[in-house]
Amino acid sequence: MSLQLTGATAPGAPHIPVLLAEVMAALALKAGDLYVDATLGAGGYLRAARAFGIGHAYGFDRDPAAHALNADLATADDVTLIRRPFSELVDGLAEHGVAAVDAIAFDIGVSSMQIDTAERGFSFQADGPLDMRMSQQGPSAADFVNTASEEAIADVLYHLGDERGARRIARAIVADRPFTRTGELAGLIRRVLGNREPGKDPATRSFQALRIHVNDELGQLDAGLVAAERLLKPGGRLAVVSFHSAEDRRVKAFLRERSGSEPAASRHMPQAAATRTPSFHKPAKAVRPCAAELARNPRARSATLRSAVRTAAPAWPAASVNAGDRA
C-alpha cells in the first residue's frame, strides 16, 4: 500500500513521522488488526495505521499536549486514546478489556512539538522554564539540577549524554545554582566547555541527558518492551524507532536476547545453556532513513528502526530483561 506523508499527523502538527513507510511495512497491518501506538505524539503512525482498515487503534501518551493535539481522534469509533506512559501498556489496555494485540509501534524520545515549544523547556534554542517533563507532572529538570549532588549530576551527564566534560559542568552547576531557565543553564555549559565542536552547541549532550533522566526514558523503554512481549499475539509485529545510542542498544539487546540470537560463546567465556524458548523470531535488519527522508526531515538523521515478529512461546519473566548496555 502506498503511503502519503501529507496529512499523516494531527491538523496543524509540526511533527513529521520518521520512517513512516518502513514502520508500516514492519507492522504489516491488515483488516481487523488490533494496533497499539505506544507513543501517540502528533498521531502520525496511528493515522497511517487506520488506512489499512484495522479493527481498532489504541494510542498511548503521558503528555496531555499530545491528547489535546489529537482531539479529533478521541471521538473516532475505531480509536481509543489512553493517557498513560507506555510502561503501563498492559494495565492500560486491560481497562478496555484487551489482553492481546496484533501490532505495536514505539517512537522513542522527545517529539518535535515538545522541542519546539519553548515553554516545555526541552530545548536551549529558545529560552524557557527549565522543565523537560513529558507528563507535565513530577520533579522537573530545574528540581534536579538545583538539589542533586555534584556527583549525581555528573553521573547523569556522563552516562546519559556521553558528556566528557560532565564533572566540570556539574561542579559549575553546583557553584552557580539555582537555575530556572533553559537559557541560564545552556549559557553556563557553553562557558564551561567553550566551542569545542564547531557546528554543535556545547549544551546539546547535557540537555539530552537531563531530559532522559527527568523522564526515566531508559527505564520506561525497558518496561515498554516487556509489556509489548506480553501483549503481542503469536505472529504479532513489533516496531521500535529510537534516536539515541543508549536506546538503540537496549532495543537491540532485548530483541537479540528474546530471539535467542545472543553472540556465540567462546572457550574463554562459556555461555550458559539456553533455558527459555525464544519469544521473538530473529529480528529484521536495522533500518535507517534514506537520503530523501533526511533531506525532507533533518531531525531523522539519528533514527534507527528495529522490528521483530512474536513467536507462540510464553513471555519471559520480566526480571530477565537485558539492561542493553552491551554494544
Phi and psi, residue 212, nearest 5°? -65, -40
User: Whole-angstrom Cα distance, residue 206 to residue 17?
Assistant: 25
**Domains recognised in the chain with CATH numbers:** 20-112+217-320 (3.40.50.150), 136-214 (1.10.150.170)
Q: Is the pTM of this model over 0.95?
A: no
Mean pLDDT of the chain: 88
Helix axes 150-161, 166-176, angle to 10 degrees: 140
Residue 57 bridge partners (DSSP): 35, 79
Q: Compute the residue count for the chain.
A: 327
pLDDT tens, position by position, 228-287 = 999 999 999 999 999 988 899 999 999 999 999 876 554 544 454 457 899 999 999 999
pLDDT tens, position by position, 284-312 = 999 999 999 999 888 888 899 999 999 99
Whether the predicted pLDDT of 192 surpasses 60: yes
pLDDT for the residue 195: 80
Q: Which of 13-22, 131-140, 221-230 has the highest mean pLDDT?
A: 221-230
Q: Which DSSP helix (H) or strand (E) runs through 82?
A: strand 79-82
pLDDT tens, position by position, 80-137 = 999 999 999 999 999 999 999 999 999 997 655 566 565 676 777 889 999 999 888 8
Question: Are residues 115 and 123 in contact, defined by beta-carbon separation less than 8 angstroms?
Answer: yes
Contacts of 106 (CB under 8 A, 6+ apart): 38, 39, 86, 221, 224, 228, 239, 240, 241, 242
Contacts of 298 (CB under 8 A, 6+ apart): none
Q: Which of 4-8, 12-16, 78-82, 126-130 has the highest mean pLDDT?
A: 78-82
pLDDT tens, position by position, 23-50 = 999 999 999 999 999 999 889 999 999 9
How far lies 63's CA from each of 132, 193, 210, 270, 277, in Å? 11, 33, 17, 45, 36
Q: Looking at residues 168-175, what average pLDDT do you find?
A: 98
Amino acid letter, 10: A
